């Protein structure tokens, strides 16, 4: 059977091209911004616990660094590809620009299945990958952070590896670290907290009351599970949740705290009491007011977009909606808050973490959360205003703002030499 493979980089470039066209960017500027600036491919050996040596492939891509050092997460997954990393790097450039933080865009990834590796194998893989990409990363050049299947411990190993090479500690080389080694209060929850703020603000504009809204969330990792908790705390009725093993649904509502405990104890949501099992495909089409994709790319496509019931889609994941699905949502009057805005809370608090590490001066959690909320609300307002002025949707509004900022920086800096 033929499988439709949607290339995320082609999606990212198509989104950029549409914004560039509308902004009337010169052909030269379009050519510069369409391509990643640097792409590093590394093939490296890792000794496994049984004594065998296995080869792994990893990537680090920097899309654009005209507004500041490159910034972007590291993903460990069997599905990682160079084009996926390119797309994620480009989205990081626009994301940092849309929320106005002084970074460019980057992303990294290793093709591996971390669920099949022991902790010590994962540590050796991480340290060797960090060494291989150390020619690019550092506090002034390129600062990684967690993404799918990577976490604060993995960031800690990267920080330690870079520090060992230098002979002194360099906490600002990576963000999303444990607090004990220079991580920031509030970073673990930051992406989801941003999702909560954006959902609340978008609901207000759509005259939707949180306590009268049902929510479905795909993905129950860092972003999905904490978004579930924070939207539940906002008063929403969370009716559907899922992870890679499948979904659970209860039209009356799921007790999110119980789901969190269940997932922690059993390693998945499977078998959650008082909820019916659904597939991930069914989950996206469940009756609900708000749909939050928080897992991976290309989940909402031309195939299922016409059956989505939600009125509001909050893109907590990167690239969950294809351009074809976007058009369908647009035509159906469904509001989509784009990834480059909706999930920007993570990189915003990563920016706070980097600033705190450089200054060796740490802020209290309430300061982090207050500043995050200010930036998210301000950015949402600016994007909405732009989309109203330009009579377009929120994704195009966000792209128009972000691409113009990056193009301006690129223009001012000029073409070297």
Interface ranges with ligand NAD (CB under 6 A): 146-149, 191, 218-224, 242-244, 280, 294-296, 316-318, 343, 346
How many residues comprise the chain?
417
Indicate the residue among 109 and 210 with the shorter CB distance to ligand NAD.
109
The least distance separating ligand NAD from the CB of residue 182, rounded to whole angstroms, comes to: 17
Residue 14 phi, psi (nearest 5)? -60, -40
What lies within 8 Å, CB to CB, of 285 at 6+ separation is 304, 307, 308, 309
Q: How far apart are CA 247 and CA 227, in angstroms?
A: 16
Task: Calculate Rg over the CA atoms of the chain.
Answer: 20
- Is the distance from CB of 73 to CB of 144 less than 8 angstroms? yes
Indicate the residue among 110 and 208 with the shorter CB distance to ligand NAD.
110
The least distance separating ligand NAD from the CB of residue 146, rounded to whole angstroms, comes to: 5
Q: Which residue is nearest to ligand NAD (CB)?
A: 221
Q: Is 107 a catalytic residue?
A: yes
Inter-CA distances, 127 with 22, 175, 194, Å: 44, 16, 30
The least distance separating ligand NAD from the CB of residue 343, rounded to whole angstroms, comes to: 4
Residue 208 tokens, joined: 């939707």
Sheet of 237-243: strand order equals 276-278, 246-249, 237-243, 214-218, 290-293, 312-314, 335-337
- Is the distance from CB of 125 to CB of 109 less than 8 angstroms? no
The least distance separating ligand NAD from the CB of residue 145, rounded to whole angstroms, comes to: 7
DSSP 77-123: ETT--HHHHHHHHHHHHHHHHHTT-S-EEEEEEEE--GGGS-HHHHH
Q: How far apart are CA 187 and CA 198, in angstroms?
A: 17
Q: Helical H runs in 343-393?
A: 345-359, 365-389
Indicate the residue among 219 and 397 with the shorter CB distance to ligand NAD.
219
Beta bridge partners of 106: 62
- Is the distance from CB of 99 to CB of 348 less than 8 angstroms? yes
Indicate the residue among 79 and 233 with the shorter CB distance to ligand NAD.
79
Indicate the residue among 216 and 296 with the shorter CB distance to ligand NAD.
296
Which residue's structure tokens are 């990167």?
318
Instruction: Indicate the helix (H) or strand (E) that contains 206.
Output: none
The least distance separating ligand NAD from the CB of residue 174, rounded to whole angstroms, comes to: 13
Indicate the residue among 88 and 170 with the shorter CB distance to ligand NAD.
88
The least distance separating ligand NAD from the CB of residue 77, rounded to whole angstroms, comes to: 8
Catalytic residue from among 37, 71, 107, 177: 107
Catalytic residues: 107
């Amino acid at each position: 059977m033929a499988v439709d493979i949607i290339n995320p980089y082609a999606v990212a470039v198509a989104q950029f091209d549409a914004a560039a066209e509308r902004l009337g960017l010169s052909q030269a500027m379009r050519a510069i911004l369409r391509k990643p600036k640097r792409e590093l491919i590394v093939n490296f050996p890792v000794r496994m616990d049984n004594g065998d040596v296995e080869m792994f492939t990893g990537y680090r891509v920097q899309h654009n660094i005209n507004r500041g050092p490159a910034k972007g997460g590291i993903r460990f997954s069997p599905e990682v590809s160079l084009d996926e990393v390119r797309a994620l790097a480009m989205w990081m450039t626009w994301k940092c620009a849309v929320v106005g933080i002084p970074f460019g865009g980057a992303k990294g990834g290793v093709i591996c299945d971390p669920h099949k590796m022991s902790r010590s194998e994962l540590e050796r893989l991480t340290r060797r990958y960090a060494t291989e990409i150390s020619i690019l990363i550092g506090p002034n050049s390129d600062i990684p952070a967690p993404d799918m299947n990577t976490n604060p411990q993995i960031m800690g190993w990267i920080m330690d590896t870079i520090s060992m090479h230098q002979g002194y500690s360099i906490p600002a080389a990576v963000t999303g670290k444990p607090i004990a080694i220079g991580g920031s209060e509030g970073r673990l929850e930051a992406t989801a907290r941003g999702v909560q703020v954006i959902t609340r603000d978008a609901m207000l504009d759509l005259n939707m009351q949180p306590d009268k809204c049902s929510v479905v969330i795909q993905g129950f990792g860092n972003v999905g599970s904490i978004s579930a908790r924070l939207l539940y705390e906002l008063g929403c009725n969370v009716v559907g949740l899922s992870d890679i093993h499948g979904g659970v649904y209860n039209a009356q509502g799921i007790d999110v705290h119980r789901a969190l405990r269940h997932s922690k104890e059993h390693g998945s949501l499977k078998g959650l009491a008082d909820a019916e099992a659904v597939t991930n495909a069914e989950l996206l089409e469940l009756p609900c007011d708000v749909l939050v994709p928080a897992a991976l790319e290309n989940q909402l496509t031309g195939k299922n977009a016409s059956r989505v019931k939600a009125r509001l889609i909050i893109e907590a994941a990167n690239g969950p909606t294809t351009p074809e699905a976007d058009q369908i949502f647009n035509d159906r009057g469904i509001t989509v808050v784009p990834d480059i805005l909706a999930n920007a809370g993570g990189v915003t608090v990563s920016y706070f973490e980097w600033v705190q590490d450089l200054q060796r001066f740490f802020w209290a959690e309430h300061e982090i959360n207050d500043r995050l909320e200010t930036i998210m609300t301000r950015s949402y307002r600016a994007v909405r205003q732009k989309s109203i002025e330009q009579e377009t949707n929120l994704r195009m509004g966000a792209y128009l703002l972000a691409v113009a900022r990056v193009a301006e920086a690129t223009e001012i800096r000029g073409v070297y030499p």
